[in-house]
Chains A and B, each alone.
Chain A
Amino acid sequence: MQNNTMSLKTENQCVTDKKFAVINPCKMCQPMGAVQALLGVKGAMPLIHGSQGCSTYMRFQLCRHFREPINVSSTSMSEGTVVYGGEGNLLKALNTIWKEYNPELIGVTSSCLTETIGDDMSLIIKKFKNSHPDEDLPPIVPISTPSYSGSHVDGYDKAVKSLVENLAHPEENNHKINVIPGMISPADIMAIKDILKELDMESIFITDTSESLNSPLTDDVSFLPGEGTKVDEIRESANSIATISLSKHADSAGAFLQKKCGVKSISGPLPVGVRNTDQFIDYITKRRSIEVPESIQRDRGKIIDAIVDAHPYNYSRKVALYGDPDVVTGLSRFVCELGMIPSVVCTGVQSSRFVEDMEKIAKENNVSPVVLAGCDLYDLHQQVKCQDIELLIGNSYGARIAEAENIPILRMGFPVYDRLGAQRISILGYKAGIQMVDTITNIMLENYYDESGHEIMEF
């Protein structure tokens, strides 16, 4: 593994003692991200062209995180079919899905297996379409996601880009804004939708898992996302006034729309905390040429009020953060606003943008975190050990580090499988930020203050 350990610390630096192995990964593979994007399209069936294990194990991860039934179909490649290529299986799979599920869209992702044997998915899909000339087929979108390059973050980006490339259709301009949320929770998407509603800004989310991965218990079960972005909305995205990618790592579709259809594209930062949310609100209000509404100003006032109430408990506490790059940078800036110090930040993804963003945040807040990019939880653990970390923020996989080092952990990101509510955790915008301030501060109080509220000190 090419550890991209970029340390901004000049002294007391812990050196990672491994070069090759990944131990306790802090990333997943491309199809995983692509599938998550597809689950936000109404009536879409994701199909992984590969072995059954790919779809099954991804469903397993997604089910236990979102606590929803997740359907991802597979071309079920096995030895015989690998030898002769995957064309037969892919054609059969498309036919089965079309006939059995009646989907509004089929998103086909490749895997390491089918990329290596060289299946040309676009050609096979064309063949399938040609063999049904008079039928009303749903759009079928190929997404190239070899699992030996990039990560789930790239897979998400590629899926959104493929959707737009294959569907976006320039017509008359509308007054909407495209939002590419990135891999955030259903509640986060809902938080952004609420803000846009308050700003009276019509939007197209590409894609929208706010309902499909956080659905009510009714009297039925659907096999395809019953809610989400409609195929027609993706078509219409070519006519919006701008595209805003909340995650900087999910902006390829925005860049495509800008180049092909002249839709202005901006990307990031993820609206976490006060300043990042300010930037987001600022951008939208400028687009709309309006003042920030009173209700949003009040929310902003409330989060600052909360931070003021909390500041003595959080000041100079050392935090380690890990997970997807934009979530980690967003949260890093946020904990700085709380007066905390992001001492170690880690992502499994190789990303120079991440490193640049962290440099900026470090400079702006006069902190010097150890920045781990393209690293794993082993590397994180080594750093946590020698930095006197007081709080860990990241997914459930970090719980064992927290236990070993006897520090509290705030579970956040993907996957969170050992606590309830992953689909309801929101960190975006002022309102969710207020909850976050309380949660973090209460963790500090529970762990570093005694029953009567006195700080626990070693005398």
Chain B
Amino acid sequence: MGHIQKNKPKSHLSLQNIQNAGTNEINIDVPDSIIKTLEARKNHICIKKGDNSNPSCNKASIPGTVTQRSCVYGGARVVLMPITDAIHLVHGPIGCASCTWDIRGSRSSSDDLYKNGFSTNLEEKDIVFGGEKKLLETIIELNKLYNPAAVFVYATCVVGLIGDDLKSVARKAERLTKCRVIPVQSEGFRAVNKSLGHQLACDAMLDYLIGTDEPETITKYDINIVGEFNVAGDLWGIKPLFEKIGVNVSCAITGDSKVEDIARAHRAKLNVVQCQKSSNHLAMEMEKKYGIPFLKVNFFGIEETSNSLRDVAQFFNNPEMIRKTEELIKSETERLRAEIIKYKERLAGKRVAVYVGGNKAWSLIKAFEEIEMEVIMTGTQNGLLEDYERIRETVKDGTLVVDDANSMELARLLKKYRPDLIVSGAKEKYLSLKLGIPFCDFNHDRITSFAGFQGFINFAKEVDRAVSSPVWNLTPKNYSGVKENAK
């Protein structure tokens, strides 16, 4: 940790400043010593110290930088895409569909309709004359070909500009096909990052789906797992744990789900929220509308998984369930502690940087502590103030916190701090590998499940595979410098 403390900034952002952040530029005295970057970017990087350090956030990326952020359409798409028996139809030019088709490693236990790339392929004449007719014909045709449980229609940038009325087309298509047609107003440019897309996806489910059907059976212990997308099969590491303690997972929103499951989700007794970046909004709205309370949970790491199960058992306040939960935790913890020793031998004391799109910026911290690794940097592409508050509560003093880092900043940070591992997504992968820094994928296209008790072992194994491989003995040891092309 000494490494970082040498670079302690002279002062930090105050909460007051953060709340003003959206309205005016604040001049904060953060020394250049963290890394060289643009003046306007300096207060987006800070070092956690005490209670009043958050980076500036939720502001437009600076034009011309290589931002890691995506668009509103992308945000909506990743939330809804795991619904397995629906058609996800992108209303726009071909690129929006062809670059985002089947990029999310959300697994399915039955249907695979969601894995297809559907597009209205808007062309020049559609831009001139409007794309509504083509959209209607496309929905009718797709309904005929696939008989889907629903069609989600995503608006892209150009659809917002030409003014296609998605809602009225969806209504008409629904009347003609008798299939649910759900508009998602996700024009890419609508916000500075994809967080709005997450919210719009939640709104689409709230407005058009949840509460439109009734479950056949209801138990006293029905829950929904909200914000669990079954990436690499994470859900399958969580669901059996609940089954063992007598809790019935009626639906995950949206991992490995069917349209019908989500339509019936309003009868659950409790919502547990896994991805608190994308899905808090949904849980809060369901509480307002249906009186379903919610708990924030985290299934990454032994302690977090144990506490999450405990919280749910406590919520139902059933002594038998509480007893079973403690038994499960005890036996699983013992099993894992024994298994984890060999990984700890190699990983203890190693330093980790986390740079992700969502709630992994804080939800992974405890899991790393359990394999005795130290998180020295964390950050997100789309964090809101509440996300950074959460990070601040979780990380130790001295941790570097970065908002919306562009690729040049990331490279400079990695070069300066030289962590033993970076946890990030595909766009950052080859940047870190080229610098000889081990990489672990924790994004949409992850292929190993990390959630729950068994997932924790997978996680340790994956981290070990990244960090301990002898390949790092072959890469250059002394890095002479990042090529900056600087003047």
Q: Which residue of A lies closest to B122 (CB)?
A: A148
Instruction: Please encode chain B, from 460 to 481, with 1 for each CB lying within 8 Å of some chain A CB and 0 for all others.
Output: 0000000000000001101111
Could you tell me if A100 and B65 are in contact, using CB atoms closer than 8 angstroms? yes
Could you tell me if A76 and B94 are in contact, using CB atoms closer than 8 angstroms? no
Q: Which of A29, A43, A60, A224 has the most CB of B within 10 A?
A: A60
Query: CB of A22 within 8 A of chain B?
Result: yes
Contact of A27 among B62, B94, B190 (CB under 8 A): B94
Could you tell me if B483 and A63 are in contact, using CB atoms closer than 8 angstroms? no
- Complex Cα–Cα for A76 and B61 (A): 7
Contact partners of B204 in chain A: CB under 8 A: none
- Complex Cα–Cα for A223 and B486 (A): 11
Could you tell me if B71 and A53 are in contact, using CB atoms closer than 8 angstroms? yes
Q: Which residue of B lies closest to A96 (CB)?
A: B64
Contact partners of B96 in chain A: CB under 8 A: 29, 53, 57, 147
Could you tell me if B188 and A53 are in contact, using CB atoms closer than 8 angstroms? yes
> In residues 9-31 of chain A, which contact B (Cβ within 8 Å)?
17-25, 27-31
Contact partners of B482 in chain A: CB under 8 A: 220-222
- Complex Cα–Cα for A77 and B69 (A): 12
- Complex Cα–Cα for A43 and B162 (A): 37
Q: Which residue of B lies closest to A147 (CB)?
A: B93
> In residues 168-189 of chain B, which contact A (Cβ within 8 Å)?
188-189
Taking the closest CB of chain A, its distance from the CB of B147, in whole angstroms, is 14
Query: CB of A144 within 8 A of chain B?
Result: no
Contact of A53 among B73, B120, B134, B429 (CB under 8 A): B73
Contact partners of B98 in chain A: CB under 8 A: 25, 27-29
Instruction: Please encode chain A, from 39 to 65, with 1 for each CB lying within 8 Å of some chain B CB and 0 for all others.
Output: 000010001001111111111110110
Instruction: Please encode chain B, from 422 to 460, with 1 for each CB lying within 8 Å of some chain A CB and 0 for all others.
Output: 000011011101111000000001000000000000000
Instruction: Please encode chain B, from 61 to 77, with 1 for each CB lying within 8 Å of some chain A CB and 0 for all others.
Output: 11111111111111000
Query: CB of B103 within 8 A of chain A?
Result: yes
Contact partners of B127 in chain A: CB under 8 A: 112, 116, 148
Q: Sort chain B's interface into a size bin.
A: 35 or more
Could you tell me if A75 and B66 are in contact, using CB atoms closer than 8 angstroms? no
Could you tell me if A57 and B74 are in contact, using CB atoms closer than 8 angstroms? yes
Could you tell me if A90 and B63 are in contact, using CB atoms closer than 8 angstroms? yes
Q: Which residue of B lies closest to A24 (CB)?
A: B117
Q: Sort chain A's interface into a size bin.
A: 35 or more
- Complex Cα–Cα for A18 and B140 (A): 11
Contact partners of B103 in chain A: CB under 8 A: 60
Contact partners of A73 in chain B: CB under 8 A: 64-67
Taking the closest CB of chain A, its distance from the CB of B164, in whole angstroms, is 12
Task: Knowing A60-B427, A79-B189 are in contact, say whether A32-B435 is a contact too (CB < 8 A).
Answer: no
Could you tell me if A148 and B117 are in contact, using CB atoms closer than 8 angstroms? no
Q: Which residue of B lies closest to A224 (CB)?
A: B485
Contact of A21 among B62, B141, B433, B479 (CB under 8 A): B141
Taking the closest CB of chain A, its distance from the CB of B456, in whole angstroms, is 27
Contact partners of A116 in chain B: CB under 8 A: 127, 158, 161-162
> In residues 21-61 of chain B, which contact A (Cβ within 8 Å)?
38, 60-61
Contact of A52 among B71, B92, B93, B475 (CB under 8 A): B71
- Complex Cα–Cα for A30 and B99 (A): 12
Query: CB of A424 within 8 A of chain B?
Result: no
> In residues 141-160 of chain A, which contact B (Cβ within 8 Å)?
146-149, 151
Could you tell me if B483 and A102 are in contact, using CB atoms closer than 8 angstroms? no
Q: Which of B97, B126, B430, B435 has the most CB of A within 10 A?
A: B430
Could you tell me if A76 and B95 are in contact, using CB atoms closer than 8 angstroms? no
Could you tell me if B61 and A25 are in contact, using CB atoms closer than 8 angstroms? no
Contact partners of B476 in chain A: CB under 8 A: 217-219
Query: CB of A71 within 8 A of chain B?
Result: yes
Could you tell me if B427 and A23 are in contact, using CB atoms closer than 8 angstroms? no
Q: Which residue of A lies closest to B481 (CB)?
A: A220
Q: Which of A25, A31, A68 has the most CB of B within 10 A?
A: A25
Query: CB of A89 within 8 A of chain B?
Result: yes
Q: Which residue of A lies closest to B477 (CB)?
A: A219
Contact partners of A407 in chain B: CB under 8 A: none
Query: CB of A207 within 8 A of chain B?
Result: no
Could you tell me if B408 and A57 are in contact, using CB atoms closer than 8 angstroms? no
Query: CB of B386 within 8 A of chain A?
Result: no
Query: CB of A139 within 8 A of chain B?
Result: no
Contact partners of B158 in chain A: CB under 8 A: 112-113, 116, 147-148
Contact partners of B156 in chain A: CB under 8 A: 112
Taking the closest CB of chain A, its distance from the CB of B275, in whole angstroms, is 19
- Complex Cα–Cα for A25 and B137 (A): 18
Could you tell me if A58 and B192 are in contact, using CB atoms closer than 8 angstroms? no
Query: CB of B116 within 8 A of chain A?
Result: yes
Could you tell me if B407 and A69 are in contact, using CB atoms closer than 8 angstroms? yes
Contact partners of B483 in chain A: CB under 8 A: 220-223, 226
Taking the closest CB of chain A, its distance from the CB of B356, in whole angstroms, is 14
- Complex Cα–Cα for A279 and B89 (A): 44
Q: Which residue of B lies closest to A97 (CB)?
A: B64
Query: CB of B487 within 8 A of chain A?
Result: yes
Taking the closest CB of chain B, its distance from the CB of A207, in whole angstroms, is 18
Contact partners of A259 in chain B: CB under 8 A: none
Could you tell me if A219 and B479 are in contact, using CB atoms closer than 8 angstroms? yes
Query: CB of B216 within 8 A of chain A?
Result: no
Could you tell me if B480 and A76 are in contact, using CB atoms closer than 8 angstroms? no
Could you tell me if B63 and A59 are in contact, using CB atoms closer than 8 angstroms? no
Contact of A221 among B70, B73, B100, B411 (CB under 8 A): B411
Query: CB of B101 within 8 A of chain A?
Result: yes
Task: Knowing A22-B121, A102-B487 are in contact, say whether A76-B63 is a contact too (CB < 8 A).
Answer: yes
Query: CB of B252 within 8 A of chain A?
Result: no
A/B interface sample: 23 pairs, CB < 8 A: A1-B121, A21-B121, A21-B142, A29-B99, A31-B95, A52-B69, A53-B70, A76-B61, A76-B62, A77-B189, A78-B189, A95-B64, A100-B65, A116-B162, A147-B95, A148-B122, A148-B123, A151-B94, A217-B436, A217-B476, A219-B476, A221-B435, A222-B485
5 extra interface residue pairs, beta carbon distance < 8 Å, beyond A20-B137, A22-B121, A27-B94: A21-B120, A25-B117, A29-B99, A53-B188, A93-B63
